[in-house]
Amino acid sequence: MKIVTWNVNSVRARLPRLTPWLEDVRPDVVCLQETKVVDELFPREPFEELGYNLVISGQKSYNGVAILSREPIENPVYGFPDDDEDAQKRVIGGVVGDVVFLNLYVPNGSTVGSDKYEFKLDWLERLHRFLSDEYDIGEKIVVTGDFNITFDDRDVHDPERWHEKILCSTLEREALGKVMDLGFIDALRKHHEEPGIYTWWDLRGGSFWKDHGLRIDHFLMSPAALEACSSVTVDRDQRKGKGPSDHAPVVAVLD
DNA sequence: ATGGTGGGTTCCCCA
């Protein structure tokens, strides 16, 4: 089973690049973030024509998540249990075969100490509670998406410049660490210990060509899922050329 | 240290 996470920064704007890539790579499950469209306007047809089932949860202008899957998606999950009606659309999940998926768009947090930063930390606590209450770490679980957090300085092109900055600060790393303590493992690090593997580069200032990147898109796997995971790779080519997202897709294979 | 780009909608927000 080939699994993808990709923050596409608008599913409609990315279609010309997304659908040919799906035809080429042929993933089984695709977790998208920042779809930036309400459900009624989501472009379902191009994906259904490629043979995908969809679950979507979007809103106007911001956020939005979706899962595409060749096999049916059972037991869909939309948001946190304690979300209210106007909650930001950042969580979608479901079960494909014997694999439990949760696809997340973690809040960015803006700047350390801001209201948005506090919202991010609170949101991560709610994520922890949700996973702790409603998921069984003994199953094959894949929690993936745009976490907007680097695990450590290996994930940062210039750790001094980013020291205690947003996406790299101690409190958000600790909040993610608490989630990991439920028994999840950073799947990419099973296969790659070296620094310098990134998934996001700012669109501004030619960051990609300077390789000024961060690794903020992750696959958190339960032990049973990790056992089956034979590779995790970043498709940097999708950050190249005309009209890229600021994120590259990350591809994991479960045997 | 700053500003740079891009998407979606609005006369500016968010990343």
Region of A224 please: left (phi>0), alpha (psi -120 to 50) or beta.
Answer: alpha
Q: Give the CA angle between residues A249, A24, A200 to the nearest 5°.
A: 15
Q: Which of A52, A117, A146, A186 is catalytic?
A: A146
Tally of structural domains, chain A: 1
β A65-69/A29-33 pair status: antiparallel
Q: Is the CB of A152 under 7 A from strand B?
A: no
Which residue range forms the structural domain that includes residue A61?
A: 2-254
The proportion of chain A whose per-residue pLDDT surpasses 90, expressed as a percent, equals 99
- Which nucleotide, over all strands, has the C1' atom closest to the CA of A146? B15
Nucleic chain B contacts, protein chain A, residues 40-99, CB cut-off 7 A:
60-62
Q: Is the CB of A204 under 7 A from strand B?
A: yes
* pLDDT, tens only, A66-123: 999 999 999 999 999 999 989 999 999 999 999 999 999 999 999 999 999 999 999 9
- Residue A185 sits in a domain of what CATH number? 3.60.10.10
Specify whether A155 is catalytic: no
- Which nucleotide, over all strands, has the C1' atom closest to the CA of A245? B6
* pLDDT, tens only, A225-246: 999 999 999 999 999 999 999 9
- Which nucleotide, over all strands, has the C1' atom closest to the CA of A206? B4
Task: Please tell me the distance from the alpha carbon of residue A34 to that of residue A228, in angstroms, as a whole number.
Answer: 28
Q: Is the CB of A205 under 7 A from strand B?
A: yes
The whole-number average pLDDT for the span A51-75 is 98
The whole-number average pLDDT for the span A187-198 is 98
